[in-house]
Structure 1
């Protein structure tokens, strides 16, 4: 992971602004902290208590998902950067202290991760290189989430029908039967588009002729939406900084894009790189759709937004021609989201099946990513140390399951793969393991 002064400056500024958003109670990254924030904002909870709760909810994700994903991909991620700024922002007693603590965390991450990664690359057994195998099943696996989401919400018959259509489209794209030869489209992109379209059509068909009976407490919504609007300048600056980082290849927005982006940045063929970046953008766009109802409804009821908004700044950032356009697009996108927040909430009331579809999407994405990362981690540890590596990996993964999953499954596989690499190197130094030749 190469050190860059520009990278350090952008990361430090982004962590400083997100810490300020947390300090003022305008936005946090952790979805579980957002519902608690009104207790602090309205004076029923003190800063130290909220900071303690924030730390308890976030530390596991920082240590597992945040660190494991960054070490395995060389890309920064929001769990590593913004969960700590949630904590630092509510811990700080002054705005300047929140900004200072947030900025210091950003500097520490960039410097620390660079040092750790450089140190790991000199190990006798190159497990950092082997971790590249993690991304192999992610692209194909994620593209199948619409089938699972449709089955969850509409039953196995529609799920089976969708599976046939989606896999048929995949093969037609693979064989180049649909698009002109000069247009490069990954088969997975075709799968995602058709699958998501089918999911939306099933939901709209189910909602036909229905009218919403939900009135909502709109006066409270409007009052709390005004709190978010007051932070609009901070949101715009934060959106611009995060989008610039993502465009420059320093940062990935989610678990569904980080491994695809790693693959894109290491690809030798520019056309393949561009196709993978487009795939990552599409993946984050579809993931964002799945999280819209959750983020919008919690924002309206709590008056606290997400530091990355509805996450649509990420696809804009990946596809922008340069960092300047990405920053402008990120600022405009998150500002627009804030401005139409109340209207988005009212629109969601009219389509209950679409709201339910978002729950199915989130569940399906989590499950396919868990499976894909488990398979990718298995490939990585076999490459590191064949069946010795596999045995160590299975023992670590099973131990996490038996102990009640102190590390969430999404992070358990990559973290177990990293630990397997460290153990294999230790065994090598003790002359208890010899890697296969070649």
Structure 2
């Protein structure tokens, strides 16, 4: 009976993309309004979604670079993720994602020369998504080679390989022995979960334990280092070396951090409205904050989706906090805590209230959080390792899943086309960013296979 339940979970994972892209009126209005708001906030240089764009915002805020130049940077860093990852993931899972919604509004907001035009452009993009994506989805499913259904093959490797990101982070930061132990623990937990609790996502408990192990190692290292530092200062004081015994000189970045935090706090009501909107969208269950989360939301596993996005928070809080304090521009999704909170809340009104309160706390706590992170270097390093591990595990999962999709829609020829496009992109210096290259290759490969079918040169694989 348990084995049968496990098989059911694996089968439902493969069917994750069956969720419809037809939105209710309330969902349509929420997406359009939120895209308008995020474009307006981006225009004001108050927040952007792309972490790579945020460091460039300080020069823009201080007038050292032009709006056109900043737009070019934002588009260059975002285009691959929009068309190579955001759109394919939405079509494959049937769930919206931040790359499809918020990266374009970053670009449109910065591009807009007038304050009033930014929300109009953002709202227009939201309308394109909610009214156009469903039509594109329906059209693609009518093609002889249904590459969107084939792309649902990506869900299984994404969900299960993503489970290993804490193991990778522990190995990179604390060595092979601790990483190997964490790997054995996670594997055991996945197996036990599949046998004991067959109706829940097997990686949920494993990821939780892995992240806790990583944080425990990091905190222990920082506490040990602080004890050693205090001992060194005590020795220096006893020897009369006042310079070594005293605190280091004030960090010259402190004044910049203080000014940036003050700038962000001035617009607190606007950030609260942003938090309310993002949390509301997550509560509607038509939006997932990550690759794995999108497929879990599509399957209706909201508690598991909340767990996955909650664990990701630990990898992004230090990055978002430091870049916000350095640039004066916050993140569109904040620390992304509004994602898991939204998934779990039963009422839209509770989501609006909770999202506003969460963003208020985040904005008001920025300065304090920056100081705390300054005293915990190993925790900051763990954040970097977590982000890299997430990227590495998802890159492999997406590549493997894309080849599975290629096999489903075209057999060996499909693998040749999709794999060949991916390798060509690598050889050309990654014209499309690595994470997005494989899903983009599946879309292009699907179009090519349909053209070959219409030319009577290819017979679709029967499944």
Q: Shared topology, TM-score over 0.5?
A: yes
C-alpha distance in structure 2 between counterparts of 1:396 and 1:381, whole Å: 12
Matched residue of 2:225: which SS? Answer: coil
Deviations 1:232-283 (A, max 9, x none): 2121112222222222122211234223323x1xxxxxxxx3xx32222111
Q: Tell me how far 1:48 sits from its aligned partner.
A: 2.5
Q: Which residue of 2 aligns with 1:105?
A: 125
User: What are the equivalent positions in structure 2 for 1:194-233 lying under 5 Å apart?
Assistant: 194-211=209-226, 215-216=250-251, 217-233=253-269
From 201, 206, 215, the equivalent of 1:186 is: 201
C-alpha distance in structure 1 between counterparts of 2:405 and 2:348, whole Å: 33
C-alpha distance in structure 2 between counterparts of 1:167 and 1:59, whole Å: 37
Q: Tell me how far 1:326 sits from its aligned partner.
A: 2.1
Task: List gaps (5 residues or longer) in structure 1.
Answer: 265-272
Q: Structure 1's 437 and 138: CA in aligned 2 closer, same or farther, altered over 3 A?
A: closer
The answer as to 2:176 corresponding to 1:156 is: yes
Q: Which residue of 2 aligns with 1:269?
A: none
C-alpha distance in structure 2 between counterparts of 1:378 and 1:57, whole Å: 25
Q: Which residue of 2 aligns with 1:375?
A: 400
From 346, 363, 371, the equivalent of 2:371 is: 346
From 76, 82, 90, the equivalent of 1:62 is: 82
C-alpha distance in structure 2 between counterparts of 1:75 and 1:162, whole Å: 32
From 116, 140, 143, the equivalent of 1:123 is: 143
Contact map agreement 2:95 2:287 (CA 8 A) in 1: yes
C-alpha distance in structure 2 between counterparts of 1:174 and 1:384, whole Å: 30
C-alpha distance in structure 2 between counterparts of 1:79 and 1:358, whole Å: 21
Q: Which residue of 2 aligns with 1:288?
A: 313
Q: Which residue of 2 aligns with 1:239?
A: 275
User: What are the equivalent positions in structure 2 for 1:32-181 lying under 5 Å apart?
Assistant: 32-176=52-196
Matched residue of 1:16: which SS? Answer: helix
Deviations 1:129-186 (A, max 9, x none): 121111011111111111111010011111111112222222222332xxxx7x9543
C-alpha distance in structure 1 between counterparts of 2:388 and 2:107, whole Å: 27
Contact map agreement 2:287 2:297 (CA 8 A) in 1: no
Q: Which residue of 2 aligns with 1:260?
A: 296
User: After the TM superposition, which of the residue ranges 382-391 and 203-212 deviates more from structure 2?
Assistant: 203-212
TM-score by length of 1: 0.91
Deviations 1:25-49 (A, max 9, x none): 2111111221121212222223223
Contact map agreement 1:254 1:284 (CA 8 A) in 2: yes
Q: Which residue of 2 aligns with 1:355?
A: 380
Q: Tell me how far 1:3 sits from its aligned partner.
A: 4.2
User: After the TM superposition, which of the residue ranges 293-302 and 234-243 deviates more from structure 2?
Assistant: 234-243
C-alpha distance in structure 1 between counterparts of 2:102 and 2:379, whole Å: 29
Contact map agreement 1:29 1:83 (CA 8 A) in 2: yes
C-alpha distance in structure 2 between counterparts of 1:119 and 1:238, whole Å: 34
Q: Tell me how far 1:63 sits from its aligned partner.
A: 2.1
User: What are the equivalent positions in structure 2 for 1:409-424 lying under 5 Å apart?
Assistant: 409-424=434-449
Q: Which has the larger radius of gyration?
A: 2
Task: List gaps (5 residues or longer) in structure 2.
Answer: 1-20, 230-246
Equivalent residue pairs, number = 422
Q: Tell me how far 1:372 sits from its aligned partner.
A: 1.0
Matched residue of 2:421: which SS? Answer: helix
C-alpha distance in structure 2 between counterparts of 1:350 and 1:28, whole Å: 27
Matched residue of 1:95: which SS? Answer: coil
Alpha-carbon RMSD: 1.9
Contact map agreement 2:167 2:210 (CA 8 A) in 1: yes
Matched residue of 2:63: which SS? Answer: coil
From 308, 315, 319, the equivalent of 2:340 is: 315
User: What are the equivalent positions in structure 2 for 1:16-27 lying under 5 Å apart?
Assistant: 16-27=36-47
C-alpha distance in structure 2 between counterparts of 1:118 and 1:436, whole Å: 20
Contact map agreement 2:408 2:461 (CA 8 A) in 1: no
C-alpha distance in structure 1 between counterparts of 2:118 and 2:456, whole Å: 49
User: After the TM superposition, which of the residue ranges 48-57 and 219-228 deviates more from structure 2?
Assistant: 48-57
Q: Which residue of 2 aligns with 1:302?
A: 327
C-alpha distance in structure 1 between counterparts of 2:109 and 2:65, whole Å: 15
C-alpha distance in structure 1 between counterparts of 2:159 and 2:189, whole Å: 16
The answer as to 2:27 corresponding to 1:7 is: yes
C-alpha distance in structure 2 between counterparts of 1:227 and 1:27, whole Å: 12
Contact map agreement 1:247 1:322 (CA 8 A) in 2: yes
TM-score by length of 2: 0.87
Q: Tell me how far 1:68 sits from its aligned partner.
A: 2.0
The answer as to 2:412 corresponding to 1:392 is: no
